[in-house]
Amino acid sequence: MTGLLTGLVSLVVFGLVILVHELGHFWAARHCGIRVEEFSIGFGPTIASWQRGGTRYTLRLLPLGGYNLFSNPPEMEEGEAPPPVQPPVKRRGLFPVTVSNLPYEEAGPWQRFFVTLWGAVMNFLLGFVVLLVLVFSMANLGGTTVAQFIDGAASAATGLQVGDTILEVDGGRCRTANSLAAYFDGTEQEHTLTVLRDGELLTLTGVTVAPTTDEEGNILSGVDFRVAAVPKNLRNVLAQTREFFGYYSTAILGGFWQLATGQVGVEQLSGPIGTVSAVSQAVQYGWRDVLSLMALLTINVGIFNLLPIPALDGCKLIFLLFEGVTGKAVPQKFQIIINTAGVVALLWLMLLVTMQDITRFL
């Protein structure tokens, strides 16, 4: 039963992350009046397909990707006039689109830039929405106002008081309990705090903040005080969500940087099998962990696609940026060579991390 549930949840997580990415490209293309021949989720044999609005929608067997097929209108016989490009026709709805048959290659560079960019943008939007749901589901939202100290708290003995609202730690701004906790690493250290006390801004120097530990010495919290909850209103919820989004994004970018600079090796990467394993663990802990993992995955996909790696959207954006600024397209032959090399490298990387995942489970 657990295996079946893991499989279903994995399909939903993978499918949704891929779906919103491809929907981003699709919506942007239709918004610009660019013809979309096929919108596909998955690769391999077709499971289901249907035609609507000049686009063929397909669901394929392997839910590990997807694509939008942009193509020119059918070739005309000699002497036959090409079909006129339809004037923009707006369709109302949650995501309004423009119906037309403009070939992708005939669209302007900035239109194609917009289409390419919106895949990653939709991944970021999905990540933000998922994190928003998680924050709304929290019982309490922690602020930065000191509510109480643990017994013998070093921070109380060195200047901090109940009711102080901590605004800065060592010059770094903090707005929520999460950003406040990020400044303390679980060791007893002195800090300079900017606090609001009885309506007055104060700078407290030499405040020693020690971690909270249990009877066995395990660290329960990086600080020796508790903060008061803040009202769960839209402003505070959005502030918490932005911080979570920033934390996830920074962690992902840091991981890519460590990989690029050789601080970590390729053996630290995981592929689809490793991700399914992570989903399995999240399922055991509950729906909140599943949503947290989904947010991490979709933000990861968005950032990864924007990296300037051949065959990814990031490389295409560089080519389109060059074309938009200079008015001259990067030679097609050069683009094909670069993207082909990128595809080969990505396939090799996918095979490598998949073999590593299999080895871990043997």
Close Cβ partners of 171 (under 8 Å, ≥ 6 residues apart) = 192
Residue found by looking up tokens 């060059």 in the block: 322
Q: Which amino acid is at 286?
A: G
Query: What is the spatial distance between Cα 212 and Cα 225, in angstroms, rounded to a whole number?
Result: 8
Residue 257, CA distances (Å) to 149, 254, 311 in order: 39, 5, 19
User: If you write DSSP's letter for every residue of 277-303 in order, what string do you get?
Assistant: HHHHHHHHH-HHHHHHHHHHHHHHHHH
Model confidence pLDDT, tens digit, residues 44-74:
899 999 998 888 999 888 776 788 888 655 5
pLDDT at 85: 47
pLDDT at 203: 93
- Answer whether residue 265 shows pLDDT above 70: yes
pLDDT at 88: 47
pLDDT at 362: 64
pLDDT at 361: 66
Residues in a beta bridge with 203: 194
Q: What percent of the chain has pLDDT over 90?
A: 44
Average pLDDT on 182-199 reads: 90
pLDDT at 93: 47
Q: What percent of the chain has pLDDT over 70?
A: 90
Average pLDDT on 281-293 reads: 84
- Answer whether residue 92 shows pLDDT above 80: no
Average pLDDT on 2-30 reads: 85
- Answer whether residue 99 shows pLDDT above 60: no
**Angle between helical axes of 234-260 and 109-136 (0-180°, round to 10):** 120
Model confidence pLDDT, tens digit, residues 289-346:
889 999 999 999 999 999 999 989 999 999 999 999 999 999 989 999 999 998 898 8
CB atoms within 10 A of CB 102: 21
Please tell me which of 189-193, 280-284, 351-355 the model is most confident about, judged by mean pLDDT: 189-193
- Answer whether residue 96 shows pLDDT above 60: no
Report yes or no: 351 and 271 within 8 Å, Cβ to Cβ. no
- Answer whether residue 79 shows pLDDT above 60: no
Average pLDDT on 214-243 reads: 88
Report yes or no: 211 and 224 within 8 Å, Cβ to Cβ. yes
Average pLDDT on 198-208 reads: 92
* Selected residue with higher pLDDT from 89 and 268: 268
pLDDT at 94: 45
Tell me the average pLDDT of the chain: 85
pLDDT at 188: 87
**12-26, 77-91, 104-118, 240-254: which range is least confident on average?**
77-91
Is the pTM for the entire model greater than 0.85? no
- Answer whether residue 235 shows pLDDT above 70: yes
